[in-house]
Every structure is written in C-alpha cells, then in structure tokens.
Chain A
Amino acid sequence: NAGVTQTPKFQVLKTGQSMTLQCAQDMNHNSMYWYRQDPGMGLRLIYYSASEGTTDKGEVPNGYNVSRLNKREFSLRLESAAPSQTSVYFCASSETPGGTEAFFGQGTRLTVV
C-alpha cells in the first residue's frame, strides 16, 4: 500500500530558483493538503484542496502556488525560492474535508541556499 507518495525526498535550491513538489495518493481521497514543518512551529497548513477542482489558502500561503491536477495528485510550486522556505514539506490526504483521519506522506526536505 503506497498511501501518499511525495517526490522528491530531498532538494537543495538556490535562492530565486523554482521547483514543484509532487504528491499523489492512491486511497481515492477527496481532500488533499500541503503542510510545512519547522522546528518549534509544528505543522502549518500552506494550501488545501477540499475536493477535486477546488483549492484554498491555509495559514502560510505566501510564496507558494498549488495545482490539484486530478483526484490523485496535488502539487506545490515555489516560483522563486527564498531561504525562509527551507523546511520539511508534508502532503496529506483525507477521505472527506473535516473530521476524518489525514494520511501523511514521508515528507520533502527542502533547503534553499
């Protein structure tokens, strides 16, 4: 069972470069999420997609864009990376929006130099 798969697992970017983090889930879940995790800050929601075709901003959306490509895939794009975006990024999915278990991927460790 793959669950939630994120690629890449590690990435180093130079300031100003762009990149897309990929996420795919095979559980037929409707809702998908992108979080960032920083030491002492917990998990903060960047963007989420309650269902295919919809996306909404979370707590820390600045500097990011997302695309819900289809029901399985939800990508996160950094247009012009900044050192403040150095973090561990987690994608998650859940069956329905609100009140159900969220399944997380293994994370992408991103360093911006």
Chain B
Amino acid sequence: QQQVKQSPQSLIVQKGGISIINCAYENTAFDYFPWYQQFPGKGPALLIAIRPDVSEKKEGRFTISFNKSAKQFSLHIMDSQPGDSATYFCAASANSGAGSYQLTFGKGTKLSVIP
C-alpha cells in the first residue's frame, strides 16, 4: 500500500514564527509532491508543489524542501500568521500506468498560529 507519513499531527506556532511540517514516503515511483491547505468547511486547495528534480521551491512565505535520498519532504511557513491557521496535507503521486493516477495524501497537520 502506498503511504505518505506526515508529522506532526498538530502544531501551535506564535505569530511571526516558522511552521515546519514533515512528510516521508516509501514509493520511489512518486514523482509529484504537492501540499494542500484546507480551511474548516472547505475543500483542500493546492498551496505549492515540487518535483524530485529540484531540492527546494519557494513561493512567498512557503517553501518546500525535498530530500530524494531520504525520501522526505517538508513544508516551511515563514513569518507564520493567524490567517495561516488551517489543516495542511502533503501528498504524492505516481503515474502508475497508462492513464492511471493516484494521489496519496498524508493524514494532515492542524496548524494554529496564535497572536
């Protein structure tokens, strides 16, 4: 069974601090690693994504770090704000065959940014 393990389950960060969420995977066929952000009562929305040919990708205050040899990737949120309070999911996908596709999600991290 393809798995993506995410930690921590919950995270409390002071406003202005750095939030770090980690994920590890097993399937070396994974070739796309997105992070999704979900607010209560809403569907997940893509935040940032990376492919294994780069080690880091930055978009504003959000950075993905990717370690292919360790099969790990992480999300860093710099200068965390109360508006960042949400549940974050890492995910991974592999094109497992002609026209087939499965996006596997981690179990999620509930981030609370306190003033």
Contacts and interface: CB of A to CB of B under 8 A. Distances in A.
Interface of A: 4, 31, 33, 35, 40-45, 48, 50-51, 54, 56, 58-59, 90, 92, 97-107
B93 interface: yes
Given A51-B99, A102-B46, A43 B94 contact: no
A110 B1 CA distance: 27
Interface of B: 1, 6, 9, 31-32, 34, 41-46, 49, 51, 89, 93-95, 99-108
B43 A105 contact: yes
A98 B43 contact: no
A107 B43 contact: yes
29 contacts: A31-B101, A33-B103, A40-B9, A40-B108, A42-B106, A42-B107, A42-B108, A43-B89, A43-B105, A45-B102, A45-B103, A45-B104, A48-B101, A50-B99, A59-B102, A59-B104, A90-B43, A92-B43, A97-B95, A97-B99, A98-B94, A99-B31, A99-B93, A99-B101, A100-B32, A103-B46, A104-B45, A106-B41, A107-B42
